[in-house]
Chain A
Amino acid sequence: MSSHNESILREPLVTGKNITYAKVTADILVPVENKPNKAWWIGFIVSVLGALLWVGAVSYTFWVGIGAWGLNKTVGWAWDITGFVWWVGIGHAGTLISAVLLLFRQNWRNSINRSAEAMTIFAVICAATYVVSHMGRPWLAYWVFPLPNQFGSLWVNFNSPLVWDVFAISTYFSVSLVFWYTGLLPDIATIRDRATGLRRRIYSIFSFGWNGSVKTWQRFEIVSLILAGVSTPLVLSVHTIVSMDFATSVIPGWHTTIFPPYFVAGAIFSGFAMVQTLLLIARKVLGFENYITMFHIESMNKIIILTGSVVGVAYLTELFIAWYSGAEYEQYAFLNRVSGPYWWAYWCMMTCNVISPQLFWFKKIRTSIAASWILSIVVNIGMWFERFVIIVTSLHRDYLPSSWVMFYPSTIDVCIFIGSIGVFFTLFLLFLRVLPAIAMAEVKLLLKSSSDQAKQKLIKEGAVDKIHAQFYTDSLDKYDSVSPEVEYTRN
């Protein structure tokens, strides 16, 4: 692989001059091997405060029961399940990047997979906390598993999608964790071999004795490929099953066969938005501009526009089918969403998820860091509203008009939500400090074929067509990590 030259027409995945294997290691380990800077501390303190808020709010919920939330007789699911589905959806991008893009041989995944997978794990942790709190009696959480019990061994009901979800989420979490950690082993070994004293001992334990021999790498690659192969259907099944929690019920607005593909597209959509939110900041603060380049940002924006459009088509299909089905309850559910008391939530969802991502058709916006970041936040907000709209507007006007109500979140609801974001960022910031945020071994693979310096060398040697070389040089214009002066002096 290393001895083949990649087509000059492909944009570089690693930029910068004099990037050697040693420099890749040194650059990526800067945040791990040095004391954190002020930006990290500020972020960390704010996140920990958020996490403490979460601990307080969840403890209060455990103490008094879920009456602490704004739920009522009609609306039995609201912010809790909204938060759960939101977090699980966010998690999907990590697996998509690490598994699906590996199967499709998309080499640009190599520098973003590590942090995206970490994001997956932390997002699923946040999602799981919602499920457990939502149970009301969390100390009985083990009842969801088919364990022998004293009720005559009354088993869980395997016909229920809620039980499928238990298996799906726990499998998803544990497989993602194993996939992530196996990928981390070579990089932990790198830290180990550069460290001294106590740090070396600690990283030595966690490196599992990795030494990078031929057989180790051979098996490592097979394991990665097979894990990617099984994770791909797994990630699709997880959000399919989450959507079945709704779709197999008889609630108008939920009982639709479009839910699985629509939820999966939405999950990837929101997940990529969260990856953008995190990485655009991380690349700047940690100085990863040469590894997470404009090509990565633009590629992710393209996935956002694709999945956002799929979600948009799904919204319109739902409306059309509600009208076309002639089922009056279904029709009312959607009429109520569009123009009922929650119209603002519906239109917020429509604007954030369907309309604003279309701005990414413009190359200027797609390759602007500020615009990408703002739009990623907009998508995160929109996807939260999507789940809120699906859950609350379908429930709050049920079959009996006398029980029609509005849902108002309690302070505890709000605190748990804000707190879960704090928990997520606390975990993510700790991850950035102790583990390499970019898979070093995988980036090293790209150095000889897909880096700017390798391509510049080809141009210099005159090994490529002049027109192609010009095309390549023009494509570098959008890169913020490549300055034109440097390019011209080099040629």
Chain B
Amino acid sequence: MSNAKYILGHFEDPDDLMHGIDQLQTNDISIYDVFTPMPIHGIEAKLGVKRSRLPIVAFCCGLTGTIAAFSMIYYMLVIDWPIDIGGKPAFAFPDFVPIMFEVTVLFCSFGIVGMFFFRNHLFPGRAPRVMDLRATNDRFIIAIDAKKNPHPDKIDSLLKGAGAVEVMHNDRKYVSYE
């Protein structure tokens, strides 16, 4: 037990999990992370996770797209090779709008998804940093750093008291996929 690096509290019910977080927090036990098979609403506020800034990224990327599309069309159609279509002006702004819109959406979507993958280190072939295989299936797991939090027995009883169905003391941090 003394070799344990991480203590994992397995919950079967998200409400019990929230209760478990409350119990740990009132006892000043720091939570390393929580792994769940589905998003839990309200958990960020409880754990003090800051609001995501991804919407700002989305806006900036979208704006870049708008400007890029406009500049591209303006350069090609007005500066580089204006086409005389019945003497109409080359700078026909309404005709620019559809492509400006599409490119805005394109840049915004790829920008936000790219930034999401980058920030969360998600990319094809990345070794999964998974602490327990059931966290993607049916278990809601609270992970506690055992080195930072003494009294593993107290943590055990707190988790069990909150409704944990299983408490594990793991010697290694992540599950091996080898």
| Residues of A that sit less than 8 Å from B by CB | 1-3, 20-22, 24-25, 146, 152-159, 161, 163-164, 167-168, 171, 174-175, 178-179, 182, 185-186, 189-190, 192-194, 200-201, 204-223, 226-227, 230-231, 233-234, 237, 241, 244, 440-442, 444-445, 448
Docked pose: A201 CA to B127 CA in angstroms: 10
Selected from A2, A157, A189, A215, the residue in CB contact (under 8 A) with B40 is A2
Contact A218 B44 (CB under 8 A): yes
* Nearest B-chain residue to A443, judged by Cβ: B38
Docked pose: A320 CA to B99 CA in angstroms: 33
17 contacts between A and B (CB under 8 A): A2-B14, A2-B41, A158-B99, A168-B102, A189-B128, A189-B130, A208-B122, A209-B121, A209-B129, A210-B128, A217-B38, A219-B54, A219-B119, A219-B120, A220-B116, A223-B112, A230-B62
Chain B interface bracket (under 10, 10 to 19, 20 to 34, 35 or more)? 35 or more
Contact B83 A208 (CB under 8 A): no
* Nearest B-chain residue to A214, judged by Cβ: B34
Which residues from chain B contact A154 at a C-beta distance below 8 Å?
81
Selected from A3, A213, A234, A442, the residue in CB contact (under 8 A) with B18 is A3
| Residues of B that sit less than 8 Å from A by CB | 12-15, 18, 33-44, 47, 49, 52, 54-55, 58, 62, 72-73, 76-77, 80-81, 83, 85, 92, 95-96, 98-99, 101-103, 105-106, 108-110, 112-113, 116-117, 119-131, 133-138, 177
Tell whether A214 pairs with B33 under 8 Å between CB atoms, given A159-B92, A237-B98, A441-B38.
yes
Selected from A1, A21, A226, A237, the residue in CB contact (under 8 A) with B137 is A21
Which residues from chain B contact A182 at a C-beta distance below 8 Å?
113, 116
Within the complex, what minimum Cβ distance (angstroms) separates A445 from chain B?
5
Among B41, B110, B131, max chain A CB count under 10 A is at B41
Contact B58 A226 (CB under 8 A): yes
* Nearest A-chain residue to B114, judged by Cβ: A178
Contact B80 A155 (CB under 8 A): yes
Contact A208 B35 (CB under 8 A): no
Contact A241 B98 (CB under 8 A): yes
Task: Say whether chain A's binding surface is mostly helix, strand, loop, or mixed.
Answer: helix
* Nearest B-chain residue to A445, judged by Cβ: B38
Contact A226 B112 (CB under 8 A): yes
Contact B109 A227 (CB under 8 A): yes
Docked pose: A223 CA to B105 CA in angstroms: 13
Within the complex, what minimum Cβ distance (angstroms) separates B30 from chain A?
14
User: What are the 9 tightest A-B residue pairs by CB atom distance, in nearest-first order?
Assistant: A209-B126, A21-B138, A22-B138, A155-B76, A208-B122, A1-B41, A164-B98, A217-B39, A193-B133
Selected from A1, A157, A200, A216, the residue in CB contact (under 8 A) with B120 is A216
Contact A1 B42 (CB under 8 A): yes
Selected from B34, B119, B124, the residue in CB contact (under 8 A) with A213 is B34
Tell whether A194 pairs with B137 under 8 Å between CB atoms, given A189-B128, A218-B49.
yes
* Nearest A-chain residue to B113, judged by Cβ: A178
Tell whether A211 pairs with B130 under 8 Å between CB atoms, given A189-B136, A222-B52, A445-B38.
yes
Selected from B18, B47, B55, the residue in CB contact (under 8 A) with A226 is B55
Within the complex, what minimum Cβ distance (angstroms) separates B31 from chain A?
9
Docked pose: A171 CA to B102 CA in angstroms: 6
Selected from B77, B85, B101, B121, the residue in CB contact (under 8 A) with A237 is B101
* Nearest A-chain residue to B83, judged by Cβ: A157
Contact A21 B119 (CB under 8 A): no
* Nearest B-chain residue to A187, judged by Cβ: B136
Which residues from chain B contact A152 at a C-beta distance below 8 Å?
81
Contact A193 B54 (CB under 8 A): no
Among A22, A205, A212, max chain B CB count under 10 A is at A212
Within the complex, what minimum Cβ distance (angstroms) separates B100 from chain A?
9
Which residues from chain A contact B123 at a C-beta distance below 8 Å?
208-209
